[in-house]
């Protein structure tokens, strides 16, 4: 799970959760406490956070509202296809519910869920099986409630009619509030305290065409989903955010400044980077080296690059550059000047 916690995710579902928490009386400060997420990040749909940060937000919300059965159900009602960006549009343009289901599971990393789901085909029936055994125990029930309510909400957004389930089985213990599950999934009885959670449908009902089905549009957005996932996987982890912040500061920010930007303590920053197998010093050196390459490729002289990156002397910059690249900055500049920037 450690590697998965470093995966990048859209901030959208977390922003929805934050809005839900604010509506329940929490302050934005308590929601974002020790998460490394800023208030402005929540309002920028292009912001990406790690799964670990998303879990931290959930913990703050669950603890702040005093978690009780049904809390996640209310949060899940806020989830709609457009809030998932390109994945939401891919779902809306799928041929039918089964097609939308396949797309959602294929690109689950772009969705609101943190659990693993897979499909079991049983001839006349199709089951969506949930594996959330690896999720932190303190937020496992909340995520189950939110995800199931979101699934029901999105299904009715995709197709303005309820597709009844055959069976709903949940790992949680029975509670009066969970009668809502039977209502939203159209079953008379829900089974509780089961080994794992699953929802079973008649296979034929999942072939119901969607009103906005369009093969070309669906393929376009599926490709967008694939490209986005590949991009995120290449920039995963807190280390990726630290690199981005270092680049934003021109490579000259110290550890305290970056920790402040992430709204965490220096100690927490060190610990989280250590969990990802790196250190601030390594990231800073790597990023400054990357920026140095760009400046030299762009045509700046060695002196100008050294000054731009905050070096006290050209010799100190040249020595550091030789360590990074194995050749002098002057030689590197002459070899690569005029080529496309190395950072895209």
Q: pLDDT per residue over 235-265, tens digit each? A: 556 777 787 788 777 777 889 999 988 888 9
Give burial (CB, 10 Å; 0-12/13-18/19+) of 150.
Answer: buried
Q: Is 117 helix (H, G, I), strand (E, B) or coil?
A: strand
pLDDT at 58 > cutoff 90: yes
Domains of the chain from N-terminus onward: 69-231 (no CATH), 238-336 (1.10.10.60)
Cα–Cα distance measured from residue 5 to residue 7, given in angstroms and rounded to the nearest whole number: 6
Cα–Cα distance measured from residue 92 to residue 158, given in angstroms and rounded to the nearest whole number: 6
Identify the DSSP state of 137: H
Predicted confidence band at 5 (pLDDT cuts at 50, 70, 90)?
Answer: low
The reported pLDDT for the residue numbered 4 is: 61
The reported pLDDT for the residue numbered 199 is: 95
pTM exceeds cut of 0.75 = no
Q: What is the distance in angstroms between the CA of the first residue and the CA of the last residue of the chain?
A: 29
The reported pLDDT for the residue numbered 279 is: 87
Q: pLDDT per residue over 137-157, tens digit each? A: 999 999 999 999 999 999 999
pLDDT at 306 > cutoff 80: yes
List residues bridging with 118 in a β-sheet: 129
List residues bridging with 209 in a β-sheet: 96
The reported pLDDT for the residue numbered 190 is: 92
């Amino acid at each position: 799970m450690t590697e998965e916690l470093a995966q990048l995710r859209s901030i959208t579902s977390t922003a929805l959760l934050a809005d839900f928490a604010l509506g329940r009386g929490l302050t934005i400060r308590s929601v974002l406490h020790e998460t490394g997420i800023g208030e402005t990040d929540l309002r920028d749909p292009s912001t990406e956070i790690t799964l670990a940060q998303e879990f931290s937000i959930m913990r703050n919300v669950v603890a702040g509202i005093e978690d009780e059965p049904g809390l996640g159900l209310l949060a899940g009602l806020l989830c709609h296809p457009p809030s998932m960006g390109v994945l939401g549009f891919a779902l809306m343009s799928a041929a039918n519910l089964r097609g939308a289901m396949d797309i959602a599971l294929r690109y689950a990393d772009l969705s609101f869920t943190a659990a693993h789901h897979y499909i079991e085909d049983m001839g006349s029936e199709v089951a969506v099986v949930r594996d959330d055994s690896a999720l932190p125990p303190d937020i496992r029930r909340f995520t189950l409630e939110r995800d199931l309510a979101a699934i029901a909400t999105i299904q009715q957004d995709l197709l303005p009619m309820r597709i009844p389930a055959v069976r709903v089985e949940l790992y949680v213990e029975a509670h009066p509030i969970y009668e809502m599950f039977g209502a939203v999934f159209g079953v008379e009885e829900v089974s509780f305290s089961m080994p794992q959670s699953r929802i079973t449908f008649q296979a034929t009902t999942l072939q119901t065409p969607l009103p906005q089905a369009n093969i070309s549009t669906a393929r376009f957005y599926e490709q967008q989903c694939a490209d986005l996932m590949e991009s995120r996987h290449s920039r995963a982890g807190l280390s990726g955010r630290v690199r981005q912040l270092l680049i934003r500061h021109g490579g000259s920010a110290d550890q305290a400044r970056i920790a402040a930007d992430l709204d965490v303590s220096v100690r927490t920053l060190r610990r989280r980077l250590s969990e990802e197998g790196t250190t601030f010093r390594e990231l800073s050196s790597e990023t400054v080296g990357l920026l140095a390459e760009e400046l030299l490729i762009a045509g700046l002289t060695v002196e100008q690059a050294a000054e731009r990156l905050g070096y006290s002397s050209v010799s100190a910059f040249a020595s550091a550059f030789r360590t990074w690249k194995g050749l002098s900055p002057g030689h590197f500049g002459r070899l690569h000047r005029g080529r496309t920037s190395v950072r895209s």
